[in-house]
Amino acid sequence: MIVADRKSLSEIQDMVRDCRKILLVGCKGCVTVCNVGGLKEVQVLAATLRIAAKIEGRPLIVEETVLERQCDPEYVEMLKPVVDNFDAVVSMACGVGPQFLSEAYPQQRFFPAVNTTFFGGAVAHGIWEERCAGCGTCIIHYFDGMCPVARCSKSLMNGPCGGSDHGKCEISRNINCIWDMIVRKKTEQGRLNDLLDIVPAKNWQTARDGGPRQSRREELIQNG
Amino acid sequence: MSDAFEPTIIAFCCKYCAYAAADLAGSMRLSYPANIKISQVPCTGRVDIVHLLKAIEDGADGVYVAGCMEGDCHFVSGNLKALKRVTCVKKTLAELGMEPERVEMFNLSSAMGPRFAEIAIEMTDRIRKLGPSPVRRQPQPEAAAE
Amino acid sequence: MDDLKSGSNLEKVLKAGHFALTGECGPPKGANIAHLKEKFAHLKGVVDAVNLTDNQTAVVRLSSWAASAIMVQDGLEPNFQMVCRDRNRLAMQSDILGAYALGVRNMLCLSGDHQKFGNHPAAKNVYDIDSMQLISLVKKMRDEGRFMNDDVIDTPPRLFIGAAANPFAEPFDFRIYRMTKKIAAGADFIQTQCIYNMDRFRVFMKQAVDMGLTEKCFILAGVTPMKTVGMASYMAKSVPGMEVPESLIKRLKGAEKGKVAEEGIRFCLEQIEEFKTMKGVAGVHLMAIEWEHRVPEIAERAGLLPRPVAP
Amino acid sequence: MNLQKTTEKTGSVMVVGAGVAGIQASLDMANAGYFVHLVDNSTSVGGLMAQLDKTFPTNDCAMCVISPFLVEVGRHLNINIISNSEVESLEGQAGAFHATVRNDPRYIDIEKCTACGQCRQICPVTAINEFDCGLDLRKAIYIKYPQAVPLAYAIDRSACIGCGLCEKACLAEAISYADTPRRTVLNVGAVILSMGSSVYDPSGLDTLAYGRHPNIVTSLEFERILSASGPYKGHLMRPYDREIPEKIAWLQCVGSRDINRAGHGYCSSVCCMYAIKQTMIAKEHVSTPLDAAVFYMDMRTYGKDFDKYYTRAKDEKHVRFIRSRIHTIEPLKNGDLNIRYVLESGDVQEETFNMVVLSAGLSPPPSAIALAGRLGIDLNAYHYAQTADIRPVNTSREGIYVCGAFQGPKDIPQSVMEASAAAASATETLADVRWTQTKVRELPAEVDFSGQKPRIGVFVCNCGINIGGVADVPAIREYARSLPHVIHVEDNLFTCSQDTQEKIKQVLVEKGINRVVVASCSPRTHEPLFQETLREAGLNKYLFEMANIRDQNTWVHMASPAKATAKAKDLVRMAVAKAAYIEPLPQVMLDVTNSVLVVGGGVAGMEAALGVARQGYQAWLVERGHQLGGMARQLRSTWQGEPVAPYLSDLIDAVHRHEHIQIFMETQVVHVTGTIGNFTTTLVTQDDEGKEKSTVIPHGAAILATGGHEYAPTEYQYGAHPSVMTHLEFDVAATKQDNRLLSAKLAVFIQCVGSRSAERPYCSRVCCTHSLKSALWLKTINPDVQIFILYRDIRAYGFRESLYQKAREAGVQFIRFESENPPVVSLTPGDPSEPNSSRLSLTVTDHILQRPIILNPDLVVLASAILPNENKKLFEAFKVPANADGFLVEAHAKLRPVDFASEGLFLAGLAHYPKTIDESIAQAKAAVSRTMNIVSKTAIMVGSVIAVVNPERCAVCLTCVRTCPYGIPRIDPEKGHAVIAAVECHGCGVCASECPGKAIALKHFTDEQINAKTDALFQAA
């Protein structure tokens, strides 16, 4: 799933400082699952913003809602009856959400309440880790299901670099050195030889480096 | 703020321990400030961040959660989860420029009537010193019409 | 190893079978060339080549190719370092050509320290290719006369290609294979991480000899004299991939007041003495960090002077 | 009461003694279809446990854990609590006894007393507070403790001066000075004696100076001192000058293991543990460092997790444990106490303490001994009820059973276990009259209010003058009238009185009230009563909310009536606000499968299966091996010397023959689904040809009695020499009259082999007794044999101490060793041409002489540890937890010792912890009793305060699955959302608070309801 972190309160406050009435829109997709932008977090942020306004003695109405997903126009469409009743709309979805909202309602202002961080999963409740960099050319089959592009701090294709310590990456004790894991697994499986071939330079054209991407499935595209 | 400031404090009390301790304080005729009003919960694990923020938003001068002693939760670990939520709300209050001490977590057993009274006194004193909640301190504007 | 690949002094010294000595020099955090030249003066005639670091520890410094060019002017031989962190394949290839055009003949290919530890932690890193791929790239440019995209190069850069090896990093058992890969990718010489744990290094070298790697490539053992107990402790704890045995720290602590640096140098000299006879070790890479002025003394006491004059 | 004596079998039973054991026995039987008369000679139930501060080894608050049991027993429709009463005689026979019970006057009508406490306020006479062990005073009119059940006052006529003030103050008119004793005859089918224990009075022991100095207290007095509701309100002070002590000594074995002075030859079983507990709790009570020293002979921490507790006290809390004998205590002028003691080495030492706690032993209450005489049951030499090991809860008179400390000194879990065991045994012969004497409340159908707006009725209680005397009740009432949705208000003198309840019922129906708010005392004590009234008026009992304006208002704000009135208004406003949102919570009836699955064919498993079958229900007995009997097959006799083999063969025979038992040999449990009342388990049986056959068994409950086995020692030359054997091998050899035993000249028993080690940090409990028993037997058959027992602590708890006594008398020599310095056994090679001719040599450091002793034994018996059997897959199938040592973990170490936290699953025997055969039998019977609470019913009700998932909002994120402390929520792949089984949910609400989609609501405590209360509190009044 897409993982995100809530933006700091002050950052959100700065965005909506000139507003008297705002709508918080959560998303039932990834951000609910990663506990950052579902109905509960919408309620928490709404209450917090109201408290802040009260402390400042400033009028502020905050309303709360959640969309099934903010990355599909049909769901985005559901805001139509109310979207213009607000000075601004704060999206708690990933970076996709506020953009789809913006495109659907060009007259309204949309702000992001979260920082979209990575594609990953929960390794334990409350801890999420990055697994995929969305590079567009998956190579994890070379590395026994582990991705050095996303998980090596230097995206080394021919690691490990020499800085790992007790299986942890040199940049943080909380991050596993993926190359340590790859080497270990290959060793355990008796297939260390796989790693003796030099992996050639990666073609980054399919990644973000090749420009904004679009995925088309002709057989799905509706005519007319 | 004047000396006459009387805070309103809401206490979310677990029915197995703190609520029973409050009853026991009653049986023992211990006296504590009338500023404390209890909202009973089946376990402090039921107390959500949203409930705590709601109380602050409504103008509570102080909010506390009182659960079982650590390790004694009737539901294994609800009190530990409550502590984490209280800690989280304290952080939020600090970000809002509000005193985090307005929110607190306490642990006590059902036999600790005197401790309940002590906590009530301690919390009331603490909030008296802090003065009214900044939420209530400002003259509140009329809510904008729809 | 018959025909010279680059014709650099270092290549010649090594191929003539001499015990090589290389030094290191960090370019300034500014454009103060005078100071840089002062450092060069200490090293002139004392070492066979000098590594010029490339934004070492991700701290911005004068560019390594420019420092290398200045060194060429001063009559010393640079070993131009390049890391993969700051350049994509376009910049790398153009810098390689540029450096070569300015007289650079040795080049050390590195991954580079992560910018998190440097003075621009907010930077976006590049890592378009990694050090292994960089070695291949330089070799291809030199030996095939082609860019990475196979376009033909008019006057290919003839460089003596170096790579780094760390016998002490984890996973230990894989270190020798990684060096093997670098040699296969085209490394002509290897400079190792600073060595303090001699036991482990002996094992590493034995592996290298047994695998025939020393027949294909020159291995220079890295040493850095400890200046203070604090430096030793810091290196033990905080430098990734560095292993400092507790016994060495104890030895330094046991030194008389004001004699810690001397004790550090002594340890260093003992190491060099052993490297001279250790099978497969072709020389020493002396990284005297901000201590360039002591290099002549160390080289002298190590019995490595005078340096051979390349034929 | 039934005054008509009958000779027919009756479905009523009598329990005498309402401590924790009596309560457990009563609840078990009442919940399994019998009407229970619970008789106690005190004014309230709860016994000794209610006086305790904390309980070992979890340090749980005693009152916290017992209170729910007190409330349940107090309100149970089928338990008749007869307090302040003695059983005078018992005629008739098993199945049809006639008990004459004398009910002594308490001078207060329990039915009328509301426990408002006004009488106490006005009573001019003070008397000694026995509940606080005389450390405090109470009034002549009193209630034993605030949580007492029945919650009614009593007058202590020995102190009362008859002034009549209380009668005038009592608005409920509950005082009746003219009360006289009344006699009642009860027809009961069986009797359980659970009269508990009294604490030894050390006044007679001159050298200890107890009674001569206030700073020497008994352990029970110290419990009261530690208790937050005790005389010093939980502040640790010494009685003499109320100073905080800095050094406290605990003296063990006061009135225990002492034939000469106390006449008590037995070990009281609990004192070591409670002393350790007191040291740790005392240290927690003071902010200054407290030096705690325990003077002891043997540290008997033989129970589950006890040794770890002991280690924690020693290593983490730095409690000093001093192995010694006390010479004298000498009080000093400043209140301090000088202790002279003798170390093992014989050295005499002195040390001064600020306070001394005497770890007083247990002894049977005189009233219990007298009753036993009237009932004609046999007592042992120490006046405890005599029982046989293979019938651990049967007394000598048929139909009379015993449990708890009256059978022998024991701790709470063991008492509770026996209580359930006694309940099972007592009802075995009454199975055919089950549900014949029980009462069922006839209730009208619930009115459907759906679609109606809230119509709230508010009833404000004066509670005599408890509320009305402080706060302005009419003002509160009128204020309530102004609140939204309120259509009716009234105030009552006593809302809880019988006549008011009737009036309320009428008004609810007449005015169509669909939500009720009572502003009075605490829901903790009174909610069930009011909910019953609602239910009788046709309202769902959850359409009710209480405002606690007495216990949490007028009682604590007596000095500020205006504030109390204002706060009462706040509390009423909050309650009304929530009431507007409350919903009826229907309970769903689920059919129950009336059979029990028992896993494990050892003694515990077979006793369990037989117990279930004798209760009239089907038992499925599963054994993975090819024979029944388990570890008992090797045991020669019980500790009291009863032979095991005949008992075992009778048991196997009975199990085979019983029509309600089906045995599955060589069978494993592979899959379990379902919940309490309805499990479905798949068994796989290996037939003779090795083919697998699976069987699916439906059952309402399950008992896991998967047993244990003996540790195979790797130490002491075990396996290298034929004369080094384990306990059980010794037993087998003894049965065969093996020559290695008969010809032994020097036998050495080594204790703690594989137990109390770093790898297995627990005591195997049975080994000390076993070695003593074996040593004595060896002496009997071979009087010339020289015997040494090498030990760390001799843990012959309870009456087992008599074996230790006898062994010493018989000349068995005891040498203590330290764990760091264990004995060493080596082999001296013998004649190489002869097999097994090598000789054993043993070196041990003598604890008194402090030097090594070399022995050349020809027999070495190893007290090897008991290990739980490996059953990882089975435990996973049932989702039951095992601890680090591999033993199953019960729901609560004290009060639910045979239940798992997952409902409907129970445990017994060695799988729980090492124990003797009598204890295994008792636990198995206890498990039977616990299953009867389920399978004796045709249906169980589920629902009410539980978490419910709103599928539309569920994002299947797994948060609930991961955060539920019981692992109840799961994602239903077919439904595509989380589901929480109503029957399993414990109702804590953690999931509701964590759910990021707000898809989960905890019924009766929804966000809406909680927030409504908060909003109401802060909304401008």
Instruction: Say if the Cβ atoms of D998 and A32 lie within 8 Å.
Output: no
Rounded distance between C-alpha atoms, residue B146 and residue D355, angstroms: 72
Q: Is the CB of C172 inside 8 Å of chain A's CB atoms?
A: no
How many other CB atoms are there within 10 angstroms of residue D536's CB atom?
Answer: 18
Which residues of chain D neighbour B45 with C-beta distances below 8 Å? 965, 988-990, 993
Q: Which among D955, D959, D963 is the nearest to A28, CB-wise?
A: D955
How many other CB atoms are there within 10 angstroms of residue D381's CB atom?
Answer: 11
DSSP string, D517-542: EEEES-HHHHHHHHHHHHHHTT--TT
User: Which residue in chain D has the smallest CA separation from B121?
Assistant: D556
Q: Is the CB of D62 inside 8 Å of chain B's CB atoms?
A: yes
C30: domain CATH number? 3.20.20.220
> Which residues in chain A (181-220) have CB-CB distances under 8 A to chain C?
183-184, 187, 192, 195-196, 198-202, 204
User: Which residue in chain D has the smallest CA separation from B26?
Assistant: D551
The alpha carbon of residue C165 is apart from the nearest alpha carbon of chain A, in Å, by: 8
The yes-or-no verdict on residue D201 having pLDDT over 70 is yes
Q: Is the CB of C126 inside 8 Å of chain A's CB atoms?
A: no
pLDDT at B139: 66
Instruction: Say if the Cβ atoms of C180 and A196 lie within 8 Å.
Output: yes
Question: Which residue, chain included where needed, has tokens 């992001």?
Answer: A112
Q: Which among B58, B72, B75 is the nearest to D986, CB-wise?
A: B75
- As to burial, measured by CB atoms within 10 angstroms (0-12 exposed, 13-18 middle, 19+ buried), residue C149 is exposed
| Phi, psi angles (nearest 5°) of residue D674 | 95, 180
pLDDT at D58: 80
Instruction: Say if the Cβ atoms of A51 and B49 lie within 8 Å.
Output: no
Is the preceding omega at residue D57 within 30 degrees of 0, hence cis?
yes
How confident is the model over D587-633, as pLDDT tens digits? 888 899 999 999 999 999 999 999 999 999 999 999 999 999 999 99
In chain D, the percentage of residues whose pLDDT exceeds 90 is 84
Q: Which residues contact D686 (CB under 8 A, 6 or more apart)?
A: D666, D667, D692
Q: Which residues contact D84 (CB under 8 A, 6 or more apart)?
A: D40, D41, D42, D43, D103, D104, D105, D106, D154
The yes-or-no verdict on residue B138 having pLDDT over 80 is no
Rounded distance between C-alpha atoms, residue D277 and residue D274, angstroms: 5
A122, part of any domain: no
User: Are A84 and A12 contained in the same domain?
Assistant: yes
Distance of CA C238 to the CA centre of its chain: 20
Instruction: Say if the Cβ atoms of A166 and C170 lie within 8 Å.
Output: yes
The yes-or-no verdict on residue C258 having pLDDT over 80 is yes
Region D482-504 average pLDDT: 91
User: Which residue in chain A has the smallest CA separation from B139?
Assistant: A57
How confident is the model over B89-136, as pLDDT tens digits? 999 999 999 999 999 999 998 888 899 999 999 999 999 999 999 998
Q: Which among B48, B140, B144 is the nearest to A54, CB-wise?
A: B140
Q: Tell which wins on pLDDT, B146 or D632.
A: D632
How confident is the model over D929-980, as pLDDT tens digits? 999 999 999 998 877 899 999 999 999 999 999 999 988 999 999 999 999 9
DSSP string, D946-993: -EEE-TTT----SHHHHH-TT---EEETTTTEEE--TTT-----HHHH
Which residue stretches of chain A have pLDDT < 50?
none
Distance of CA D332 to the CA centre of its chain: 41
The yes-or-no verdict on residue C46 having pLDDT over 70 is yes
Structural domains counted in chain A: 2
Rounded distance between C-alpha atoms, residue D818 and residue D793, angstroms: 10
Q: Which residues contact D308 (CB under 8 A, 6 or more apart)?
A: D57, D761, D762
DSSP string, D560-627: -HHHHHHHHHHHHHHHHHHHTT-----EEEEE---EEEEE--BHHHHHHHHHHHHTT-EEEEE-SSSS
How confident is the model over D772-797, as pLDDT tens digits? 999 999 999 999 999 999 999 999 99
User: Are A108 and A28 contained in the same domain?
Assistant: yes
Q: Which among A20, A50, A57 is the nearest to B138, CB-wise?
A: A57
Q: D989: closest CA among B47, C158, A111, C66?
A: B47
Structural domains counted in chain C: 1
DSSP β-bridge partners for residue D681: D672, D697
A19, part of any domain: yes
pLDDT at C241: 77
Q: Which of A86, A117, A148 is the last residue of a domain?
A: A117
* DSSP letter assigned to residue B144: P
Instruction: Say if the Cβ atoms of A39 and D963 lie within 8 Å.
Output: no
CATH of domain B2-136: 3.40.50
The alpha carbon of residue D635 is apart from the nearest alpha carbon of chain B, in Å, by: 39
The alpha carbon of residue B95 is apart from the nearest alpha carbon of chain D, in Å, by: 22
Instruction: Say if the Cβ atoms of A177 and C133 lie within 8 Å.
Output: no
pLDDT at D392: 96
Instruction: Say if the Cβ atoms of D955 and A38 lie within 8 Å.
Output: yes
Alpha helices for D693-784 (secondary structure H) = 727-735, 739-742, 767-781
- Chains adjacent to C (≥3 CB pairs closer than 8 angstroms): A
C307, part of any domain: no
Q: Is the CB of C178 inside 8 Å of chain A's CB atoms?
A: yes
Q: Which among B10, B72, B112 is the nearest to D1014, CB-wise?
A: B10
Instruction: Say if the Cβ atoms of D989 and B76 lie within 8 Å.
Output: no
How sure is the predictor about D504, in pLDDT bands with cuts at 50, 70 and 90? very high
Question: Which residue, chain included where needed, has tokens 């036993």?
Answer: D372
Distance of CA D786 to the CA centre of its chain: 43
Q: Is-contact D35 B83, C-beta < 8 A?
A: no
Instruction: Say if the Cβ atoms of C177 and A180 lie within 8 Å.
Output: no
Alpha helices for D537-560 (secondary structure H) = none
A82: domain CATH number? 3.40.50.2300
Tell me which residue range forms the domain holding C239: 9-301
C258, part of any domain: yes
pLDDT at B2: 45
Rounded distance between C-alpha atoms, residue C222 and residue C193, angstroms: 5
The pair of three-digit structure tokens given for residue C142, joined into one six-digit string: 């030199």
Instruction: Say if the Cβ atoms of A33 and D955 lie within 8 Å.
Output: yes
Which residues of chain B neighbour A47 with C-beta distances below 8 Å? 50, 53-54, 56-57
Domains recognised in chain D with CATH numbers: 8-104+181-197+364-441 (3.50.50.60), 106-179 (no CATH), 200-363 (3.50.50.60), 456-583 (3.40.50), 591-707+869-938 (3.50.50.60), 711-865 (3.50.50.60), 946-1002 (3.30.70.20)
Q: Is the CB of A32 inside 8 Å of chain D's CB atoms?
A: yes
Instruction: Say if the Cβ atoms of A184 and C171 lie within 8 Å.
Output: yes
Amino acid at D778: L
- Chain A residues with CB-CB distance to B under 8 A? 8-10, 20-21, 40, 43-44, 47-48, 50-52, 54-59, 61, 85
Region C45-62 average pLDDT: 95
Mutation for testing the B interface, residue in A12, A19, A44, A51 having most B CBs under 10 Å: A51
How confident is the model over A72-121, as pLDDT tens digits? 999 999 999 999 999 999 999 999 999 999 999 999 999 999 999 999 99
Q: Which among B54, B68, B85 is the nearest to D1014, CB-wise?
A: B54
User: Which residue in chain D has the smallest CA separation from B43?
Assistant: D988
User: Which residue in chain D has the smallest CA separation from B41?
Assistant: D1005
Q: D390: closest CA among D703, D646, D767, D766?
A: D646
Q: Which helix (H) or strand (E) holds D341?
A: strand D337-343
Which of A161-165, C23-27, D37-41, D636-640 is predicted least confidently?
Answer: A161-165
Rounded distance between C-alpha atoms, residue D147 and residue B38, angstroms: 20
How sure is the predictor about C1, in pLDDT bands with cuts at 50, 70 and 90? very low
Which residues of chain C neighbour A203 with C-beta distances below 8 Å? none
User: Are A27 and A80 contained in the same domain?
Assistant: yes
The yes-or-no verdict on residue D73 having pLDDT over 60 is yes
Which residues of chain A neighbour D997 with C-beta distances below 8 Å? 28, 32, 38-40, 66
Tell me which residue range forms the domain holding A61: 2-117
B/e letters for D9-19, b = 16+ CB within 10 Å, e = fewer, are: bbbbbbbbbbb
Q: Is the CB of A4 inside 8 Å of chain D's CB atoms?
A: no
The alpha carbon of residue D672 is apart from the nearest alpha carbon of chain B, in Å, by: 24
A73, part of any domain: yes
Which of D29-43, D161-175, D913-927 is predicted least confidently?
Answer: D161-175
Rounded distance between C-alpha atoms, residue C272 and residue C249, angstroms: 19
Q: Where are the domains of chain B?
A: 2-136
pLDDT at B1: 42
The pair of three-digit structure tokens given for residue B32, joined into one six-digit string: 């504590």
Q: Is-contact D977 D937, C-beta < 8 A?
A: no
How sure is the predictor about D829, in pLDDT bands with cuts at 50, 70 and 90? confident
Three state DSSP letters for chain C: CCCCCCCCHHHHHHHCCCCEEEEEECCCCCCCHHHHHHHHHHHCCCCCEEEECCCHHHCCCCCHHHHHHHHHHCCCCEEEEEECCCCCHHHHHHHHHHHHHCCCCEEEEECCCCHHHCCCCCCCCCCCCCHHHHHHHHHHHHHHCECCCCCECCCCCCCEEEEEECCCCCCHHHHHHHHHHHHHHCCCEEEEEECCCHHHHHHHHHHHHHCCHHHHCEEEEEECCCCCHHHHHHHHHHCCCCCCCHHHHHHHHCCCCCCHHHHHHHHHHHHHHHHHHCCCEEEEEECCCCCHHHHHHHHHHCCCCCCCCCC
A216, part of any domain: no
The yes-or-no verdict on residue D848 having pLDDT over 90 is no
Q: Is the CB of A40 inside 8 Å of chain D's CB atoms?
A: yes
How sure is the predictor about B145, in pLDDT bands with cuts at 50, 70 and 90? very low
Region D1004-1009 average pLDDT: 97
Question: Which residue, chain included where needed, has tokens 């355990």?
Answer: A188
pLDDT at D114: 87
Nearest 5°: the CA angle D391, D397, D402 is 55
Q: Which residues contact B122 (CB under 8 A, 6 or more apart)?
A: none
Q: Which among D953, D958, D996 is the nearest to A41, CB-wise?
A: D996
How confident is the model over C134-153, as pLDDT tens digits? 999 999 999 999 999 999 99
Distance of CA C185 to the CA centre of its chain: 18
Q: Which among A157, A184, A187 is the nearest to C130, CB-wise?
A: A157
Which residues of chain B neighbour A85 with C-beta distances below 8 Å? 146
Region C111-124 average pLDDT: 93
Which residues of chain B neighbour A58 with C-beta distances below 8 Å? 141
pLDDT at D1021: 44
The yes-or-no verdict on residue D466 having pLDDT over 90 is no
A63, part of any domain: yes
Rounded distance between C-alpha atoms, residue D706 and residue D693, angstroms: 21
Nearest 5°: the CA angle A140, A144, A147 is 35
Which residues of chain A neighbour C112 with C-beta distances below 8 Å? 154
A26, part of any domain: yes
